[in-house]
Structure 1
Amino acid sequence: MTRTVLERFPAGGPRGSWPAEEFAGARRDEGVPARVVMDLESDAFLVVVEQRPPEQRTASGQRAPSPRAAGPRPPEQRAADREPVGAVRE
Protein backbone atom coordinates (compact mmCIF):
# COMPACT_ATOMS: atom_id res chain seq x y z
CA MET A 1 0.00 0.00 0.00
CA THR A 2 1.34 3.42 -0.87
CA ARG A 3 0.53 6.82 0.55
CA THR A 4 0.05 10.00 -1.39
CA VAL A 5 0.69 13.25 0.46
CA LEU A 6 -2.03 15.78 -0.36
CA GLU A 7 -0.74 18.63 1.81
CA ARG A 8 1.87 19.47 4.49
CA PHE A 9 1.26 21.67 7.52
CA PRO A 10 3.93 22.89 9.98
CA ALA A 11 3.53 21.49 13.48
CA GLY A 12 4.01 24.86 15.16
CA GLY A 13 0.57 26.32 14.48
CA PRO A 14 -1.26 28.58 16.94
CA ARG A 15 -2.89 26.93 19.95
CA GLY A 16 -6.35 25.65 19.10
CA SER A 17 -5.64 25.72 15.37
CA TRP A 18 -5.87 22.37 13.57
CA PRO A 19 -5.37 23.21 9.86
CA ALA A 20 -4.28 19.67 8.87
CA GLU A 21 -7.36 18.12 10.52
CA GLU A 22 -9.63 20.73 8.92
CA PHE A 23 -8.09 20.07 5.48
CA ALA A 24 -8.42 16.28 5.93
CA GLY A 25 -12.03 16.71 7.10
CA ALA A 26 -12.86 18.73 4.00
CA ARG A 27 -11.34 16.00 1.80
CA ARG A 28 -13.36 13.33 3.65
CA ASP A 29 -16.51 15.40 3.04
CA GLU A 30 -15.61 15.15 -0.68
CA GLY A 31 -15.35 11.36 -0.39
CA VAL A 32 -11.55 11.16 -0.26
CA PRO A 33 -10.35 8.89 2.60
CA ALA A 34 -7.76 11.39 3.89
CA ARG A 35 -6.10 11.16 7.27
CA VAL A 36 -3.44 13.08 9.18
CA VAL A 37 -0.05 11.63 10.12
CA MET A 38 2.94 13.24 11.81
CA ASP A 39 6.29 13.33 10.02
CA LEU A 40 8.70 13.59 12.94
CA GLU A 41 11.72 14.13 10.71
CA SER A 42 10.33 17.34 9.17
CA ASP A 43 8.17 18.30 12.21
CA ALA A 44 5.08 18.57 10.03
CA PHE A 45 1.59 17.12 9.81
CA LEU A 46 0.86 15.40 6.52
CA VAL A 47 -2.58 14.82 5.05
CA VAL A 48 -2.30 11.49 3.26
CA VAL A 49 -4.45 9.10 1.23
CA GLU A 50 -3.54 5.42 1.27
CA GLN A 51 -3.87 3.64 -2.04
CA ARG A 52 -3.88 -0.06 -2.78
CA PRO A 53 -1.89 -1.15 -5.82
CA PRO A 54 -4.04 -2.34 -8.73
CA GLU A 55 -4.90 -6.03 -8.71
CA GLN A 56 -2.63 -8.24 -10.77
CA ARG A 57 -4.39 -10.42 -13.34
CA THR A 58 -3.16 -13.53 -15.10
CA ALA A 59 -3.35 -13.95 -18.89
CA SER A 60 -6.69 -15.75 -18.47
CA GLY A 61 -8.14 -12.83 -16.53
CA GLN A 62 -8.02 -14.53 -13.14
CA ARG A 63 -6.82 -12.58 -10.13
CA ALA A 64 -3.18 -13.46 -9.44
CA PRO A 65 -2.35 -14.73 -5.95
CA SER A 66 -0.82 -12.16 -3.65
CA PRO A 67 2.82 -12.61 -2.64
CA ARG A 68 1.63 -13.12 0.95
CA ALA A 69 -0.45 -16.14 -0.12
CA ALA A 70 2.73 -17.99 -1.08
CA GLY A 71 3.41 -18.92 2.55
CA PRO A 72 5.60 -17.64 5.35
CA ARG A 73 8.92 -16.04 4.51
CA PRO A 74 12.12 -16.25 6.53
CA PRO A 75 12.44 -13.57 9.27
CA GLU A 76 15.34 -11.81 7.52
CA GLN A 77 13.22 -11.34 4.40
CA ARG A 78 10.25 -10.03 6.41
CA ALA A 79 12.52 -7.52 8.18
CA ALA A 80 13.85 -6.28 4.83
CA ASP A 81 10.28 -5.55 3.66
CA ARG A 82 9.47 -3.24 6.57
CA GLU A 83 9.70 0.49 6.21
CA PRO A 84 11.39 2.51 8.94
CA VAL A 85 8.96 3.93 11.49
CA GLY A 86 7.72 7.34 10.39
CA ALA A 87 8.59 6.76 6.74
CA VAL A 88 6.13 8.07 4.20
CA ARG A 89 6.41 7.17 0.55
CA GLU A 90 5.43 10.01 -1.71
Structure 2
Amino acid sequence: MTESTHNVLRRFSAGHPRGSLPAEEYAAEQRVLGTPAEVVMNLRTDEFHVIVPCATSKA
Protein backbone atom coordinates (compact mmCIF):
# COMPACT_ATOMS: atom_id res chain seq x y z
CA MET A 1 0.00 0.00 0.00
CA THR A 2 1.29 3.48 -0.83
CA GLU A 3 0.91 6.57 1.29
CA SER A 4 -0.94 9.51 -0.20
CA THR A 5 1.15 12.65 -0.58
CA HIS A 6 -1.86 14.95 -0.97
CA ASN A 7 -5.46 15.49 0.09
CA VAL A 8 -8.27 16.21 -2.36
CA LEU A 9 -10.22 19.32 -1.37
CA ARG A 10 -12.77 19.12 -4.18
CA ARG A 11 -13.48 17.26 -7.42
CA PHE A 12 -14.79 18.75 -10.67
CA SER A 13 -16.07 16.88 -13.72
CA ALA A 14 -13.77 17.10 -16.72
CA GLY A 15 -16.90 17.19 -18.90
CA HIS A 16 -17.85 20.65 -17.61
CA PRO A 17 -18.52 23.11 -20.48
CA ARG A 18 -15.82 25.41 -19.06
CA GLY A 19 -13.28 22.61 -18.81
CA SER A 20 -10.85 22.96 -15.91
CA LEU A 21 -11.77 26.61 -15.24
CA PRO A 22 -14.09 25.92 -12.25
CA ALA A 23 -11.34 23.86 -10.61
CA GLU A 24 -8.73 26.52 -11.37
CA GLU A 25 -10.98 29.25 -9.92
CA TYR A 26 -11.57 27.22 -6.75
CA ALA A 27 -7.85 26.54 -6.35
CA ALA A 28 -7.12 30.27 -6.80
CA GLU A 29 -9.65 31.10 -4.06
CA GLN A 30 -7.95 28.61 -1.75
CA ARG A 31 -4.52 30.11 -2.48
CA VAL A 32 -5.83 33.59 -1.58
CA LEU A 33 -6.86 32.07 1.77
CA GLY A 34 -3.35 30.70 2.27
CA THR A 35 -3.93 27.08 1.23
CA PRO A 36 -1.33 25.81 -1.29
CA ALA A 37 -3.93 24.31 -3.64
CA GLU A 38 -3.24 23.08 -7.14
CA VAL A 39 -5.27 21.36 -9.87
CA VAL A 40 -4.47 17.92 -11.27
CA MET A 41 -6.31 15.72 -13.76
CA ASN A 42 -7.38 12.23 -12.71
CA LEU A 43 -7.58 10.34 -16.00
CA ARG A 44 -9.09 7.24 -14.40
CA THR A 45 -12.14 9.11 -13.08
CA ASP A 46 -12.20 11.89 -15.73
CA GLU A 47 -12.14 14.58 -13.04
CA PHE A 48 -10.07 17.59 -12.09
CA HIS A 49 -8.98 17.43 -8.45
CA VAL A 50 -8.02 20.42 -6.34
CA ILE A 51 -5.32 19.07 -4.06
CA VAL A 52 -3.11 20.19 -1.18
CA PRO A 53 0.02 18.50 0.18
CA CYS A 54 -0.43 16.25 3.22
CA ALA A 55 1.05 17.44 6.47
CA THR A 56 3.95 15.19 7.33
CA SER A 57 4.98 14.37 10.85
CA LYS A 58 8.50 13.47 11.80
CA ALA A 59 8.89 10.72 14.37
Q: Could you tell me the TM-score, scaled by structure 1's length?
A: 0.57
Correspondence 1:38 to 2:45: no
The one-letter code of the counterpart of 1:4 is: N
Structure 1 residue ranges without an equivalent (≥5): 57-90
Residues 41 and 3 of structure 1, relative CA distance in 2, 3 Å threshold: same
Asked which structure has the greater CA Rg, the reply is 1
Higher relative contact order (CA 8 A, sep 6+): 2
Q: Which has the higher helix share?
A: 1
Q: Which has the higher strand share?
A: 2
Q: How many residues align?
A: 56
**1:38 partner SS:** strand
Aligned to 2:53: 50
| Superposition misfits of 4+ residues, deviation over 4 angstroms | none
